Structure 1
Amino acid sequence: MSESIHYELQYLDLMRRIWTEGDERVDRTGVGTRSLFGETMRFSLRDDAIPLLTTKRVYWKTALRELLWFLTGDTNIRPLVAQGVRIWTDWPLEKYRRATGEQIDAEAFEARIVADPDFAAAWGDLGPVYGHQWVNWPRYEPAGEGLFRRAEQGHNQIAALIDSLRNNPGSRRHIFTGWNVADLDRMALPPCHMTYQFHVRSDGGLSCLLFQRSCDLGLGFAFNIFEAALLTRMVAAQCGLHAHELVWTGGDVHLYLNHAELVEQQLRRVPSGAPRLRILRQASSIFDYAFDDFAVENYAPQAHISAPVAV
């Protein structure tokens, strides 16, 4: 996309097309959506650029905490809730309510998750979601007599990606995915941002293509695109490369019918500004970054627009 045209205009154009032309249908949540299938956007990552939406406030610190949590391989919401990150609470909370009949509110549920490790172990786990597949994809080893047992340590796709980029940059196999078909039915939510492919240019520029099978354009996209760009920057830093471009491709790209106020407010706004993300410390590995190693600058968004999450 031309740098003279604000990167966010393609997002707003897609939002407008979905809202006015999208196919309206009932979805998994029962809320209903309007959707288009097979959409692509491109975002420059050169010169520390970061594709934060400016027509509404994006809580990038929450997104940063989520990405760092993914990289730990943890699948329990306890460390997130302890940091004030509540974006994954709805799924285990709904499961707890169904199983026990107790109509506990989210605040009380989260307080119990933080205070009681046993309660968190029983009710706070999301199953083998993103981080588990990224850094601990299940492997199996021979156990004798034609039998196999699960290996204690799974395959770390992120570590393998870093090694591949460092040692074979021209490869077309720089890929990791969260779509493990054997584990889908055990996940609180199958991965939406599911497959990442990386490409190294001859000038050392690193690009990432993210395929997202399902995208809530009104709420989830803002986090998805920020985290993919951030991850690309982190990978580039670990491989002696510089970030070049993020290509985003969505399968089912949708807006929920109960997000009319969000859509109409946002489409009336005009994007502006050029936020930057700086990595303040070169960590020894991609798994050693901390929250304070990142800073976002020149980000002056318009007011936050709230909307309900469909579970």
Structure 2
Amino acid sequence: KAGCSTVTCDSCQLRKYQLALDCSVVTFSNVVFSDEFPLLTTKRVFFKGVLEELLWFIKGSTNSKELSERGVKIWDANSSRDFLDKLGFMSREEGDLGPVYGFQWRHYGADYKDMHSDYTGQGVDQLQKVIDTIKNNPDDRRIIMCAWNPKGK
């Protein structure tokens, strides 16, 4: 459209991970993976943690305790009382990460209050926009989702 060429790299290693989910088939585009999930990497991966964190992002949650209860402790230190106090978030409840990735995906631009507030209909649901665009205009080269908040609040 803009007269720019596109560069691709086809040299990545594909690993497949067994799915231990309630679903038996996962579909990506025209490819169906029964009981396996493709992951481009050269490293060993804590797949359960990756999956739990991804589902947590998709949900739009900012409560690290939800992940911790599921055995994923990666966000615990960033929401500890000591850490929050050092950053000046004295009124933020322990476990409240603030407007992190999932919040940005599902409520981009909404004013963040706390991890218990209902943000339904607030901000831009970037994930839904991406899904809708892929369904309705799959050749659109502007399909993008940003997890970074340029406001820095």
Tell me the TM-score range normalised by the shorter chain: 0.5 to 0.7
Q: Per the alignment, do residues 170 and 52 of structure 1 end up closer, same or farther by CA in structure 2, a change over 3 Å counting? A: closer
| Superimposed CA distance per residue, residues 1-38 of structure 1 (whole angstroms, 9 cap, x where no aligned partner) | 566xx728xxxxxxxxxxxxxxxxxxxxxxxxxxxxxx
Greater relative CO, 1 or 2 (CA 8 Å, sep 6+): 1
Which of 126, 143, 153 is the equivalent residue of 1:174?
A: 143
1:85 aligned partner: 72
Q: Helix, strand or coil: the match of 1:170?
A: coil
Measure the CA separation in 1 of the matches of 2:40 and 2:128: 25
- Deviating above 3 A after TM superposition, structure 1's stretches of 4 or more consecutive aligned residues are 46-49, 96-99
Q: Per the alignment, do residues 172 and 123 of structure 1 end up closer, same or farther by CA in structure 2, a change over 3 Å counting? A: same
Task: Point out where structure 1 has 5 or more consecutive residues left out of the alignment.
Answer: 9-45, 100-120, 141-149, 187-311
Give the structure with higher Rg (CA): 1
Q: Helix, strand or coil: the match of 2:149?
A: coil
CA displacement at 1:90 relative to structure 2: 1.3
Q: Alpha carbon RMSD of aligned pairs, Å?
A: 3.0
CA displacement at 1:152 relative to structure 2: 5.0
Measure the CA separation in 2 of the matches of 1:139 and 1:98: 25
Measure the CA separation in 2 of the matches of 1:174 and 1:2: 21
CA displacement at 1:53 relative to structure 2: 3.3
Measure the CA separation in 1 of the matches of 2:121 and 2:135: 27
| Superimposed CA distance per residue, residues 192-214 of structure 1 (whole angstroms, 9 cap, x where no aligned partner) | xxxxxxxxxxxxxxxxxxxxxxx
Q: Percent identity?
A: 35
Q: Helix, strand or coil: the match of 2:122?
A: coil
Q: Per the alignment, do residues 87 and 177 of structure 1 end up closer, same or farther by CA in structure 2, a change over 3 Å counting? A: same
Verify the 8 A CA contact 2:105 2:126 in the aligned structure 1: yes
CA displacement at 1:173 relative to structure 2: 1.5
Query: How many residues end up aligned between the 2 structures?
Result: 113
Measure the CA separation in 2 of the matches of 1:51 and 1:97: 38
Task: Point out where structure 2 has 5 or more consecutive residues left out of the alignment.
Answer: 1-8, 15-30, 112-118
| Superimposed CA distance per residue, residues 226-279 of structure 1 (whole angstroms, 9 cap, x where no aligned partner) | xxxxxxxxxxxxxxxxxxxxxxxxxxxxxxxxxxxxxxxxxxxxxxxxxxxxxx
What TM-score, normalized by structure 1, do the two folds share?
0.32
2:39 aligned partner: 50
What TM-score, normalized by structure 2, do the two folds share?
0.61
